[in-house]
Structure 1
Amino acid sequence: MSATLLDLLLLAVGIIIILFGGDYLVRGATAVAKRTGVPSLVIGLTIVAFGTSAPEMVVSVFAALAGSPGLAVGNIVGSNIANILLVLGLPALIAAMGTDAKGVRTNALIALAAALLFIAISWDWQAGTPGVISLVEGFALAGLILAYIVYLAFVAMNSREDPMVAELTSVDTMEGLPKSVLGIAFSMIVGLIALPIGANLIVEGGSSLALRLGISEAVVGLTLLAVGTSLPELATSVVAAVRRQADMAIGNVIGSNIFNILAVGGITGIAAGGVAGGVAIDPSFFSLDFWVFLGSAIFITLLVVSRRPLGRLTGVILLASYIAYIAALLYLTVLLPA
């Protein structure tokens, strides 16, 4: 087996381990909370909300602490791009998605504001160059995700029609929760062990692959890692489209993007800011990636605000945009330098 294939294998195995680990941890922690009488709303807004972002969070933190900030930021930015262009684009080819569910417009505007904020704090305005996500900025992002959780709690107390709230408060119908103490302990232990092991494999495989291919770690984070960690959302959206229940997908994707930016970005900034002086931003992000990241957020917000459904034509546009983005990224980072 060639060294490149070995790096790809490490990356793939790491993604599989970390996704399964996150799922086991969420199910184990949810079972514990239910057994101790914690209300379903509280479980959904804490354990489920943050647990579903655990894979991206652990990978980004490990990458930043290991001196691979390109992987950390690329994971956040690339996942958000993939969520909109790929995760929404592919199901839209199967069935039209409505955009008029209650709360989706507000969440879309919050996601757009979060994207703008992330780009703004990634730039050093005094030096006029790409900057560092510092400890203070990490705390600011983390504070905003807590404020968003409080907002969702108020929404949930009045109505659960918001798709983001509906997903987070569906704890009572969650399947596959361990019932015995031994089963709960097993799920928790598997999750807690698998997450760091998977993250370490991803960082090692991704960093080695980038070095071997002569590309930046940011490219690996924006492509292979971003798509890999977005696979659960993609599978869920495709299944929902096949079952003609795709209207929930757009709200869930927008909510996921908010957590990627504020929760994953915040925790990564805090961890790296306290140990490594912050998360350095690769200048290449300002050449293309941040603008696709922002453009996709603007596009989906305009669709939601205008209440236009995502039909097959929109799906084609989104998928074509994702293919064009990957092609442009590879051209700028692989073919052009050569």
Structure 2
Amino acid sequence: MVFILFALSAFVVVLAAIQLNRFGDVISRKSALSGAVVGTFLIAGATSLPELTTSLTAVYIDNPDIAVGNMLGSNVFNLLILAVVDMFYRRKRMFNSVDRRQHLPSAIAGIVFTLVIAASLLFNFNASLFNIGIEMFVLVALYIVTMKFFNKGEEEEMDEAAATGRDYSLRAASIGFAICALVVFGAGSALSIFGDQLAQQTGMSSSFVGSFLIAASTSLPELVTVLVAFKLANYGMAVGSILGSNLFNLQLLAVTDVFYQKGAILSALTSSHLPIALLSIVMLVLTVFTLNRKPKENSLYYAAPSLIIIFLYFVTSYNLF
């Protein structure tokens, strides 16, 4: 019964998050706010809201493993999405068709941010300020610095995707966004609660449930975004949406730590999260390599990084299970 409720909550999260992203696109095109502000925070927040609500609920029920595992696992699953779609549409040579200058800053920033998390987990830092881990302040500071290097070209790509769907007035989009946000909040909270019960009843670790089951559920809106981008042959949006969402998820870890009042949240975790953080770093390194390499005709050479990413994901998930 718990598994059915878990699956139903995941289904509602996915449907509501897809609509949330659609309304967010309309607001970004029609509001008086700058495109950079809306695109960076509202759209990224729309696709990442399921992760945030799920993690905050996990903090409320005192399960930090699910809270952090959901964020780290979502980042890994997002990169898996990119690899699988790239393999499925390998003849289109997605990574050869994008402007690497637009995406390398976010990919490299993702590596640096995740290294901060991995170092904290590896050396078990206990330093905190106002019950917030010092590493979270480092992440926020790095994010602010990194934002200066982003190219604004991606905003136009998001607008192009939005323009192909049904249009709404700004008022209707704002109301729809608020309603969907409430639905995501409720369903995401249920997802975390049922995930905690699922871990207790099945004997699966909370870190596995958070890093793979819940993370996969909350990352499905990103899958839809990538598929829409491929339908439009807009490969820059596909890559940019994943890398941007991953950076935003790592910032949400800091928000999660604010609500965890027992000290630095990373110091309360089991050791099983370190492999997920390291896996994310390896995946990002492979992504940077793929963006930087020179195009060649050999199909196996092109597909190798995506194949390695897929292989590493399933090997890691099997070992943690």
Give TM-score, length-normalised by structure 2. Answer: 0.81
The alignment partner of 2:50 has SS state of: helix
Deviation of 1:210 after TM superposition, in Å, equals 0.4
Deviation of 1:221 after TM superposition, in Å, equals 1.1
Deviation of 1:25 after TM superposition, in Å, equals 4.6
- Check if 1:233 corresponds to 2:218: no
- Check if 1:315 corresponds to 2:314: no
Contact 1:108 1:304 in 2 (8 A): no
Q: Who is 1:134 aligned against?
A: 132
Distance verdict in 2 for CA 1:316–1:187, change over 3 Å? same
Question: Following the alignment from structure 1 to structure 2, what is the Cα–Cα distance between the partners of residues 94 and 33?
Answer: 29
Q: CA RMSD, aligned part only?
A: 3.1
Contact 2:26 2:170 in 1 (8 A): no
Question: Following the alignment from structure 1 to structure 2, what is the Cα–Cα distance between the partners of residues 230 and 172?
Answer: 19
Q: Who is 1:110 aligned against?
A: 109
Contact 2:72 2:277 in 1 (8 A): yes
Q: Who is 1:94 aligned against?
A: 89
Q: Select which of 284, 299, 302 maps to 1:297.
A: 284
Q: Who is 2:263 aligned against?
A: 277
Deviation of 1:197 after TM superposition, in Å, equals 1.0
Structure 1 residues 178-205: Cα deviation after superposition (integer angstroms, max 9, x where no partner)? 3274x34641442242122112211111
Alignment of 1:13-162 (within 5 A): 13-25=8-20, 37-95=32-90, 96-99=93-96, 101=99, 102-125=101-124, 134-152=132-150, 155-156=151-152, 160=153
Q: Who is 1:334 aligned against?
A: none
Q: Who is 1:193 aligned against?
A: 182
Aligned residue type for 1:179: S
The alignment partner of 1:283 has SS state of: coil
Aligned residue type for 2:273: F
Give TM-score, length-normalised by structure 1. Answer: 0.77
Distance verdict in 2 for CA 1:308–1:314, change over 3 Å? farther
Question: Following the alignment from structure 1 to structure 2, what is the Cα–Cα distance between the partners of residues 289 and 205?
Answer: 22
The alignment partner of 1:98 has SS state of: helix
The runs of 5 or more residues in structure 2 that have no matched partner are none
Contact 1:25 1:188 in 2 (8 A): yes
Deviation of 1:47 after TM superposition, in Å, equals 1.6
Q: Who is 2:247 aligned against?
A: 258
Structure 1 residues 48-88: Cα deviation after superposition (integer angstroms, max 9, x where no partner)? 23222211122112212321111111111111211223432
Deviation of 1:314 after TM superposition, in Å, equals 3.7
Question: Following the alignment from structure 1 to structure 2, what is the Cα–Cα distance between the partners of residues 207 and 255?
Answer: 28
Question: Following the alignment from structure 1 to structure 2, what is the Cα–Cα distance between the partners of residues 207 and 322?
Answer: 23
Aligned residue type for 1:109: I
Deviation of 1:142 after TM superposition, in Å, equals 3.3
Contact 2:84 2:306 in 1 (8 A): yes
The alignment partner of 1:122 has SS state of: helix
Q: Select which of 152, 160, 169 maps to 1:179.
A: 169
Contact 1:178 1:187 in 2 (8 A): no
Question: Following the alignment from structure 1 to structure 2, what is the Cα–Cα distance between the partners of residues 31 and 247?
Answer: 20
Distance verdict in 2 for CA 1:322–1:35, change over 3 Å? closer
Structure 1 stretch 309-318 or stretch 89-98: which is displaced more? 309-318
Deviation of 1:35 after TM superposition, in Å, equals 6.0
Contact 1:70 1:218 in 2 (8 A): yes
Structure 1 residues 9-36: Cα deviation after superposition (integer angstroms, max 9, x where no partner)? 2222222333344444555566667666
Question: Following the alignment from structure 1 to structure 2, what is the Cα–Cα distance between the partners of residues 233 and 184?
Answer: 20
Percent identical: 21
